[in-house]
Chains A and B, each alone.
Chain A
Amino acid sequence: MKCDRCDSEATVQDITIRNGVRIERHLCEQCARQAGLGGQTNVPLAELLTKWVVASGIGAPANPSTPAPARQAPVTECPACRMTWNEFRQVDRLGCPDCYSAFEGQLGPLLERAHEGGFRHSGKVPTRAASRRAAQAKEESGGAVERAQRINTLRKQLDQAVLAEQYERAAALRDEIRRLGDPGTPPTVI
């Protein structure tokens, strides 16, 4: 098909609907540019997509080692040492131990790529951290055992109260059992 304006081959088709009327134009590349159409016909689709994705912050750059464009970089900085994410990408070294929590979100994917998909520590735990964790676990499990024992006792008291027709006391005991979060408490008909 020939260009509407010259004898060259038309490569751009422009369809506009104006006031319900369909206007179709067939133009060559040069005339299309003059008409303000197809200005980006030479830009590969992949490049356009990449630019769009990067600009909108939807995806990370394909190559992890390529520093992200400045506009995409998060503005966050480590509250302890003031290192920014951009600075880190330039030197490949974090500023202080607190940087790990400050940049946790950004670091995750990067670490996974560097460590065969590893994203969580597995292995040795410093004695201090281990004893802290053990104390915490003990406290948690100790609390759970204690709670279970308390619920058991309350249930017995509840049964006795129902048998003794002490309904007010029974209602209070039921509420207490529910408060302790016992999912197994059967609905008591009082």
Chain B
Amino acid sequence: MTSIPPSLSFDSRTEWLRGEGRASDVVMSSRIRLARNLAGCPFPHRGTRVHRQASLQLCKKAILAGNLSPRLIWVDLHDASPLERMLLVERHLISKHHSKSRPSAGPPAAGPDDPRGVAISLPDERVSIMVNEEDHLRIQVIRTGLALSECWKEIDEVDNRLEAALPYAYCPRFGYLTSCPTNVGTGLRMSVMLHLPGLRLTGDIERVKRAAGDMNLAVRGFYGEGSEAAGDFYQLSNQTTLGKSERQVLEELEAQIIPKVVEYERVARRTIATKRLAAVEDQVYRALGILTQARLISAEEAMQLLSHLRLGVVLGIIKQIDQSLVNHLMLLVQPAHLQRVLGREMDQDQRRIARGDLLRTKLAR
């Protein structure tokens, strides 16, 4: 049995799962991340283990002394179990890349896991800071609903406090210097997690994706780069970081592009609710039926059905369940969460059974 340290016990006060805030019928969460590096230090992938240990110590000290949040916990990922790491990925607190075991290069060949970590603000999980990922620092702020301005205000302040203690790599021409040149400049990635079942049902989703591509925005799935759009969830984010200020990107996304997509989705939902109500109700109630009756269920199927259920809740077809519960269930059905809730490691088949049990219990009236 893998034990989860008490520091890593999350509760239901996670900010971005609340299902509240502006346009929360369509926008599940808003997220901003900043990439920062230390001047005079090789980027994590290039440095030696000694370099990475030094950057980790330096950043960890600055983060913990920076008064960034009322309560901030630190997790040394090189010491964390695979289950703990997976749990953090599922909660969008670290990237998949950061969770993977990376033996340090050089003798001994299969050396200890690379020194790296993450700081997380609790209980809201709004702020998380990865150290020694692709860049020395990856600062993230995530909030419920459409709240990019609020995210920016908060992350800007966290960034200022860290900069007061750390020598950032910066030059006037290229801005904040990052390991990958696609992030150089502002080092900014602004994204929103959109729930777009209406546009999928009307068949307009491909057009929206193409339009986003034309505007140089990236469209990704629920778990970011390389993940599928599980349950009609799409992450829309900026890609340009050089020559466009944070304010410009914020203005474009929050005031222009996202409200338009939200409006398209609402129109699509209204259209299907008036023209194809029976079909939508059927989909929603079938989803609820399976979720409350299934004995064996995979994470993918559960996500898709929870997405249908979420649409039913938002449209007022299902009244006894709230959006926040559906959001939380989307996390609880993920493999690491399931094992954490039940307190033991399970193989895939055992998880399918456990997932069915959990959904029936949680959705029982």
Q: Which residues of A contact B (CB under 8 A)?
A: 80-81, 83, 91-97, 100-101, 104, 107, 110-111, 114-129, 133
Task: Tell me whether A123 and B42 are in contact (CB under 8 A).
Answer: no
Considering the chains assembled together, what is the distance between the CA atoms of A96 and B92 in angstroms? 27
Task: Tell me whether A126 and B245 are in contact (CB under 8 A).
Answer: no
CB-based nearest A residue for B39: A97
Q: Is B322 an interface residue (CB 8 A)?
A: no
Apart from A94-B179, A121-B173, what 7 extra A-B contacts exist at CB < 8 Å?
Answer: A96-B43, A97-B37, A97-B39, A114-B182, A118-B185, A118-B240, A123-B246
Task: Tell me whether B163 and A118 are in contact (CB under 8 A).
Answer: no
CB-based nearest B residue for A103: B181
Q: Is B205 an interface residue (CB 8 A)?
A: no
Task: Tell me whether B246 and A111 are in contact (CB under 8 A).
Answer: no
Shortest CB distance B245–A (Å): 3
Contact mask for chain B residues 20-39; partner A; CB cutoff 8 A; 1 contact, 0 none: 00000000000000000101
Task: Tell me whether B40 and A94 are in contact (CB under 8 A).
Answer: no
Question: What A residues does B167 contact at CB under 8 A?
Answer: 128
Question: What B residues does A121 contact at CB under 8 A?
Answer: 171-176, 185-186, 242-243
- B 172-214 contacts with A by CB, 8 A: 172-177, 179-182, 184-186, 188
Task: Tell me whether A110 and B242 are in contact (CB under 8 A).
Answer: no
Question: What B residues does A92 contact at CB under 8 A?
Answer: 180-181
Partner of B244, one of A83, A94, A97, A122: A122
Task: Tell me whether A97 and B246 are in contact (CB under 8 A).
Answer: no
Task: Tell me whether A127 and B181 are in contact (CB under 8 A).
Answer: no
Task: Tell me whether B243 and A117 are in contact (CB under 8 A).
Answer: yes
Considering the chains assembled together, what is the distance between the CA atoms of A133 and B176 in angstroms? 16
CB-based nearest A residue for B136: A97
Q: Is B357 an interface residue (CB 8 A)?
A: no
Question: What A residues does B169 contact at CB under 8 A?
Answer: 97
Complex A-B, nearest 3 residue pairs according to Cβ-Cβ distance, in ascending order: A118-B243, A121-B175, A123-B245
Considering the chains assembled together, what is the distance between the CA atoms of A93 and B241 in angstroms? 16
Q: Is B96 an interface residue (CB 8 A)?
A: no
Question: What B residues does A111 contact at CB under 8 A?
Answer: 174, 181, 184, 242
Considering the chains assembled together, what is the distance between the CA atoms of A170 and B156 in angstroms? 58
CB within 8 Å for A94 and B181 given contacts A118-B244, A120-B243, A126-B168: yes
Of A81, A100, A107, A128, which is in contact with the most chain B CB atoms at under 10 Å from its CB?
A: A100
Question: What A residues does B160 contact at CB under 8 A?
Answer: 127
Question: What B residues does A101 contact at CB under 8 A?
Answer: 171
Q: Is B134 an interface residue (CB 8 A)?
A: yes
Number of A-B contacts (CB under 8 A): 118
Partner of B243, one of A97, A119, A125: A119
Considering the chains assembled together, what is the distance between the CA atoms of A127 and B160 in angstroms? 8
CB within 8 Å for A123 and B185 given contacts A116-B243, A118-B242, A128-B163: yes
CB within 8 Å for A127 and B186 given contacts A92-B180, A97-B177: no
Task: Tell me whether A100 and B184 are in contact (CB under 8 A).
Answer: yes
12 contacts between A and B (CB under 8 A): A91-B45, A96-B41, A116-B243, A116-B244, A121-B185, A121-B186, A122-B243, A124-B176, A124-B246, A126-B168, A128-B163, A128-B168
Task: Tell me whether A81 and B42 are in contact (CB under 8 A).
Answer: yes
Considering the chains assembled together, what is the distance between the CA atoms of A128 and B234 in angstroms? 38
Partner of A126, one of B40, B163, B184: B163
Shortest CB distance A37–B (Å): 48
CB within 8 Å for A127 and B164 given contacts A96-B42, A96-B43, A120-B173: yes
CB within 8 Å for A100 and B174 given contacts A92-B180, A127-B160: yes
CB-based nearest A residue for B163: A126
Considering the chains assembled together, what is the distance between the CA atoms of A128 and B168 in angstroms? 9
CB within 8 Å for A120 and B37 given contacts A81-B42, A93-B180: no
Shortest CB distance B250–A (Å): 10
Q: Is B74 an interface residue (CB 8 A)?
A: no
Question: What B residues does A96 contact at CB under 8 A?
Answer: 41-43, 46
Shortest CB distance B1–A (Å): 39
Task: Tell me whether B245 and A124 are in contact (CB under 8 A).
Answer: yes
Q: Is B2 an interface residue (CB 8 A)?
A: no
Considering the chains assembled together, what is the distance between the CA atoms of A128 and B171 in angstroms? 11
CB within 8 Å for A116 and B163 given contacts A93-B134, A93-B179: no
CB within 8 Å for A123 and B46 given contacts A97-B169, A110-B181, A118-B244: no
Task: Tell me whether B170 and A126 are in contact (CB under 8 A).
Answer: yes
Considering the chains assembled together, what is the distance between the CA atoms of A83 and B253 in angstroms? 37
Q: Is B293 an interface residue (CB 8 A)?
A: no
Question: What A residues does B164 contact at CB under 8 A?
Answer: 127
CB-based nearest A residue for B160: A127
Task: Tell me whether A116 and B240 are in contact (CB under 8 A).
Answer: yes
Considering the chains assembled together, what is the distance between the CA atoms of A114 and B163 in angstroms? 27
CB within 8 Å for A119 and B170 given contacts A93-B45, A95-B42: no
